[in-house]
Structure 1
Amino acid sequence: MNAVKAIGFDLDGTLFDHRGSATAAVDEFLLLLGIAPSDEARQLWFTVEEAEFERWRAGLIGFQEQRRNRLRRILPALGISAPEHPAELDRMFEGYLIAYRNAWTAFPDSTSVLSSLRLRGFRVGILTNGSQEQQLDKLSAIGLLELVDVVCTSKLIGFQKPDRRAFETLAGRLGVEPADCIFVGDNAEHDVAGARLAGMQAALVDR
């Protein structure tokens, strides 16, 4: 087994508390729509979010379109007519995004883990399926951007997890071979299986 020289991390659900941040944002967004937050409404949001994000990840729709589709599916289920014009959907979704950004938070141990790894001499990188602008904004807002050496987003590098080329790109930008890297993530298929396919060691985080 090769000596570990670098540690790669997924972002959402691993270092960044997406579910907690999004739950707070969904509740605020529902109130803006005049709807009382409920477990059923939250579950609807996250079910549709996952489905539409996976359609974007598979290259079937654009990033902005997956956001619009979420509203097209969610609003009627809540008894609200969805706007027909894409620009109106974008303006409405911005209300959710503002609440989401205001709720962004890292998991309590994220800062200490990254700081400790850097102090011990490991190279540290992020590999995340998402848009470059939003993921960098997240890392900056939650105070983690300065604690990593490399940030690879699927939008920037052209490959999405679990494609082995995404992990190979991360290793290359960290200046190590894949076999010299451990990847840590919260998704068994996208993070662990993808990393191992590229020749990395991998660890699954269950938050």
Structure 2
Amino acid sequence: MIKAVLFDLDLTLLDRDVSVERFVSHQYDRHYAALQHIPREVYAAAFIELDAGGYVWKDIVYEQLVRQFGIENITPAELLDDYVAQFHKSCVPYPGLKAMLDTLKTEGYALGLITNAIGDFQQRNIEAIGIEPYFDVILISGWEGVKKPHPDIFLRALDKLGVEPEDSVYIGDHPLNDVEAARHVGMKGIWKSHTRWEQPAQLDGVVHDLIEIPALISRL
């Protein structure tokens, strides 16, 4: 019997693709004096490519952008500081997020969130889309000192919830860090589909939209 549902954040609950597009456009506007020699769409496309879905930290991204475009009036460190301080203002959830969480809470499931990121940065993103109150436990790797796919971060969350792995589900977009890692510790692993990845070979379900989740959990 499923007692707890745990989630990844980026590309699972938070539409990071749209959020990044919004952020880069706003950053371009804030620093137009330094970036105006680069067309907005060119700057945005270069950032998104270098960012690699969030798997390249932004110090490297901005160093490469400054070199690539010959940016002179603002430093990589200043652009990075702007990213850290401002990204949360551009965060956009996937449609139906709060309705889905409301349904799960009403049905009595304990809810958890496990995400790989720097603590303060990711906490602001969680708060920006208004979902913190829904969760009984939130673990951010930067604060925990361990990150997915290491089993300890999953087991730590389950321990805080007082739930056994076999009575829990983890939902995320990454085949290895989310689905395979959760199944490795005995949880059910559900893939939140995304075109960035191929579907995992081993899983316990697939969802394309958040609104599908409560019904799938009930079937499990």
Q: Could you say which TM-score interval applies, normalised by the shorter chain?
A: 0.7 to 0.9
1:37 is aligned to 40
Q: Aligned partners of 2:53 and 2:175: how far apart in 1? A: 17
Alignment RMSD (CA, Å): 2.1
Q: For each residue in 1:71-120, what CA deviation from the matched residue of structure 2 results, as whole angstroms up to 9, or x when unmatched?
A: 1112222232597xxxx533232334455222112112111111111111
1:37-72 superposed Cα distances (whole Å, 9 cap, x missing partner): 22x543432332238845xxxxxxxxxxx4322211
Q: Which of 135, 139, 150 matches 2:122?
A: 135
**Distance across 2 between alignment mates of 1:98 and 1:154:** 19
Per the normalisation by structure 2, the TM-score is 0.77
2:114 partner amino acid = L
Tell me if structure 2 keeps the 8 A contact 1:152–1:170: yes
Instruction: Give TM-score, length-normalised by structure 1.
Output: 0.82
Match of residue 155 from structure 2: 168
Shift in CA distance, 104/25, structure 1 to aligned 2, threshold 3 Å:
same
Q: Which runs of 5+ in 2 are unaligned?
A: 195-220
1:71 is the counterpart of 2:75: no
Aligned positions of 1:19-98 closer than 5 A: 19-31=17-29, 32=31, 33-34=35-36, 35-38=38-41, 40-50=42-52, 53=55, 66-81=57-72, 88-98=75-85
How many pairs were matched up? Answer: 189
Higher RCO (C-alpha 8 Å, min separation 6)? 1
Shift of 1:197: 0.8
Give SS of 2:114's match.
strand
Structure 1 outlier segments of 4+, above 6 Å: none
Is the CA contact (8 Å cut-off) linking 1:52 and 1:69 kept in structure 2? Answer: no
**Residue equivalent to 2:16:** 18
Is 1:192 matched up with 2:179? yes
**Consecutive unaligned residues in structure 1, runs of 5 or more:** 55-65
Match of 2:95 among 101, 108, 116: 108
Asked if the contact 1:184–1:192 (Cα under 8 Å) also holds between the matched residues in 2, the reply is yes
